[in-house]
Structure 1
């Protein structure tokens, strides 16, 4: 299969998408907003046993809403869902949203699905009383959205841990030979390990392009059943989640976007061992900005879904590769060569 990463190797290589991020350094947390220029068709697939989400039911293909105004990924566990409130308020002030009743004096209703990860126990200052920072962070992230954004200890991955290593926010893209763009963004806070046992090799190594996460190759990529590599020491419910978004500019229906999200989940299984555990909250959203017709029908959709899974595996590894350490949390770059 021919093609190449986009110019930025980010999800924003999909035309029509911007990404904004905001962090609270003292609280060791943050928010990532994926912002389409126009309302985008969306789907969602939830595989983790302990998810935290907002408005995912609205994305079911049989339901009324066929497009969204933004996707929000946030730290903060249940507090982080308030980040979507800030994004909704910002979008509404811009005159963006879904209009069931279009009449003067009736505001539009922005549709902003969201998913959260748990970073409450990472040592940051969470003494926020009745004013958690997430609504503010959501608004700041949306207002600052653009084509370039930071990877690693940034956005919703700012406070994340990936197994025993510092987690983070990663992204990757691929432009197919027919011009269709596919991209992925992941905020990695997994229980499972992103590395094979006994070394620095990412499980996602077979899918690496160039040296985007170290260029070590797949040598030594093996493990006995049940030998995951450096995962978290204890499996605490609701404290382990990888939340992600994949996107394409191929024009998809809501049902096709759902299928893309389902296929993309394979990328998490390629990059994290184990994935989809009862105590993980793994969630993948899919967006279609619709700039190109889906000329190849379901066969082309299958190809896009497969590439989305590859991009997501790469995004997971890039998020950990780019992450910076903090006290008590070693980064990939700290591991012995």
Structure 2
């Protein structure tokens, strides 16, 4: 048996997972929330030289808390880290969070790691008066969480740019013969190009499933100079580019196994974007395990397979997000 895309071809094909999104057209920014129904094992890997993250130290080996209540991805650079406050407010209302010892009158603390991308220079009115809009967007995204969600110019990818093209939010999934599902969601605001130079083919084309990002292929005689980056951003600035992502699986991973999958998933960025992990990129990926399917033996081989599928599914999500955004903006004929 071969792998297949999930029913929705979204990260929410992973059972027990929902996604909510919100954006502000005036500010040209947004927030995406990945919400497990129950606390999920989590890990994070950062490869870019200019990251902006929150609560990732909690995901390090040996930390007291090894599960999270949600993951957020946000526009807004460091302002966007405030999106977690809105997500935490929604979780508190739902009675969710971590308590070392339950006591009357002491609420549990929601655990909400996340990452941001830089969209402050991508247009829109950033001259907000007073408090930045991200906590409110985070709360709105939390409330909107469901099994389906928009791709392209939506959520944290609403104000993104991918090289010289519109960026956006993409997602994809794959189901293993054993019934384990791996899904990915990416918000793409990269310096590098997702398209091969001089073509309409995505770098991720070898991993495409059923024409999900247009089906374009490079010409048979395609060749390029090693330093031809194609439609990358012409004048990158420090901290102004990033692809942030979340990979999820229903396989029951330990924190250590989830960390290995996160490290393997990073290669999905390099399969879809060129160049990537630059000093001015903040590339980061989270991994969630909803623990619905026990890992069959042998564990190391299964973790390797899941990690490889995480990488290829993430590459598909990146290409799909940009392709959807290009279609919405008329950049795809």
1:267-289 C-alpha deviation (Å, 9 max, x unpaired): 00000001111110000000000
1:325, 1:171 → 2: CA distance? 16
CA deviation after TM superposition for structure 1 residue 334, in Å: 2.1
After TM superposition, the structure 1 = structure 2 runs for residues 46-195 of structure 1, keeping only pairs within 5 Å, are 46-195=46-195
In structure 1, what is the equivalent of residue 257 of structure 2?
256
In structure 1, what is the equivalent of residue 224 of structure 2?
223
2:175, 2:265 → 1: CA distance? 16
2:79, 2:267 → 1: CA distance? 29
* Secondary structure at the counterpart of residue 4 of structure 1: coil
* Secondary structure at the counterpart of residue 322 of structure 1: helix
Question: Hey, which bits of structure 1, 4+ residues long, moved more than 3 A?
Answer: 218-222
Structure 1 residue 315 corresponds to structure 2 residue 317: yes
8 Å Cα contact 2:84/2:135 also seen in 1: yes
In structure 2, what is the equivalent of residue 301 of structure 1?
303
CA deviation after TM superposition for structure 1 residue 222, in Å: 4.3
8 Å Cα contact 1:196/1:223 also seen in 2: no
CA deviation after TM superposition for structure 1 residue 129, in Å: 2.4
1:304, 1:325 → 2: CA distance? 31
2:255, 2:284 → 1: CA distance? 17
In structure 2, what is the equivalent of residue 42 of structure 1?
42
8 Å Cα contact 1:160/1:189 also seen in 2: yes
1:258, 1:161 → 2: CA distance? 29
* Secondary structure at the counterpart of residue 145 of structure 2: coil
CA deviation after TM superposition for structure 1 residue 56, in Å: 0.5
8 Å Cα contact 2:326/2:332 also seen in 1: no
8 Å Cα contact 2:83/2:138 also seen in 1: yes
1:20, 1:256 → 2: CA distance? 27
Give the 3 Å change call, closer, same or farther, for CA 225–166 of structure 1 in structure 2: same
8 Å Cα contact 2:35/2:145 also seen in 1: yes
CA deviation after TM superposition for structure 1 residue 335, in Å: 4.8
Give the 3 Å change call, closer, same or farther, for CA 109–253 of structure 1 in structure 2: same
2:131, 2:194 → 1: CA distance? 34
1:226, 1:65 → 2: CA distance? 44
Q: Which runs of 5+ in 2 are unaligned?
A: none
TM-score (ref. length: structure 1): 0.96
In structure 2, what is the equivalent of residue 281 of structure 1?
282
**Higher mean Cα deviation, 16-25 or 228-237?**
228-237
CA deviation after TM superposition for structure 1 residue 196, in Å: 0.5
8 Å Cα contact 1:206/1:218 also seen in 2: no
CA deviation after TM superposition for structure 1 residue 325, in Å: 7.5
* Secondary structure at the counterpart of residue 98 of structure 1: coil
1:334, 1:148 → 2: CA distance? 25
2:319, 2:115 → 1: CA distance? 20
2:160, 2:135 → 1: CA distance? 19
Number of residue pairs the alignment of both structures matches: 331
8 Å Cα contact 1:163/1:190 also seen in 2: yes
CA deviation after TM superposition for structure 1 residue 61, in Å: 2.1
Name the Cα RMSD after superposition: 1.3
Give the 3 Å change call, closer, same or farther, for CA 206–89 of structure 1 in structure 2: same
* Secondary structure at the counterpart of residue 217 of structure 1: coil
Give the 3 Å change call, closer, same or farther, for CA 135–47 of structure 1 in structure 2: same
CA deviation after TM superposition for structure 1 residue 101, in Å: 2.2
TM-score (ref. length: structure 2): 0.97
Q: Which runs of 5+ in 1 are unaligned?
A: none
**Higher mean Cα deviation, 218-227 or 165-174?**
218-227
